[in-house]
Structure 1
Amino acid sequence: MLEYRFDTQLLIEGHDLDEDDIHDYITAHFAGDCLLVVGDEDLIKIHFHTNEPWKVLEYGASLGDIHDIVVENMQRQEDGLHG
C-alpha cells in the first residue's frame, strides 16, 4: 500500500508567481511527497504525490489559470490495474 496514492500534476498560468512561495505553501499545508515546483513568474509546473489532489488543484486555481491537469491513481498502477 502506497502512503500517497495520487500523482498530481498541473500547470498554473498567472502573474507574479513565485516557485519558492508555492513550494513552501504546499509543504506547509498538504501531506505528500515528491514535490517539484518549477517555472517562472508567468508559468509554474507542479508535481506532487498526495492523497488529496483536489486541495492542490484548489490552491493552484487560487493563483491563476490551471491546465494540463493529470491525477493518476498510483495504487491502481501498483496493483497492476490501469491508473
Structure 2
Amino acid sequence: MLTYRYDTQLLIEGNNLSEDAIHAYFQEHFEGDCLLVVGDEELIKIHFHTDAPWLVLAYCATLGEIYDIVIEDMDRQARGLQG
C-alpha cells in the first residue's frame, strides 16, 4: 500500500538556490516521503512523493523557472494502469 500517491519530479533553474534550504522547507511544509533535493546554486532536481503535487509546484515556482515536470500517479501504476 502506498503512503503517498504522486511521484513528483522537476527541475528548478534559478540563482542562489540552496539544496539545504529547499530540503528544510519541504520537510517543514509538505507531507510526503522519498525526498531528494540535489543540484547547485543554479539548477536543482526535486524528487518527492506526495498527495499534493500542486503545492510542490507552487512553491518551486517561487524559486525560479520550473521545467521537466513529471507527476505520476503511483496508485494507478500499482494497479497496472498508466500513471
Per the normalisation by structure 1, the TM-score is 0.98
Report how far residue 45 of structure 1 moved: 0.3
Amino acid at match of 1:41: E
Structure 2 unaligned residues grouped into runs of 5+: none
Q: Secondary structure at the match of 1:60?
A: helix
Q: How many residues are treated as equivalent by the alignment?
A: 83
- Which string of whole-angstrom CA distances, capped at 9 and with x for unpartnered residues, describes residues 6-51 of structure 1? 0000000000000000000001100000000000000000000000
Q: What residue number does 2:54 align with?
A: 54
CA RMSD of aligned residues (A): 0.6
In 2: Cα distance, 1:66 partner to 1:46 partner: 10
Q: Secondary structure at the match of 1:63?
A: coil
Percent of matched pairs sharing the same residue: 69
1:1-83 matches, within 5 Å, as: 1-83=1-83
In 1: Cα distance, 2:58 partner to 2:40 partner: 20
Report how far residue 3 of structure 1 moved: 1.2
Amino acid at match of 1:27: Q
After the TM superposition, which parts of structure 1 deviate over 4 Å for at least 4 consecutive aligned residues?
none
Report how far residue 66 of structure 1 moved: 0.2
Per the normalisation by structure 2, the TM-score is 0.98
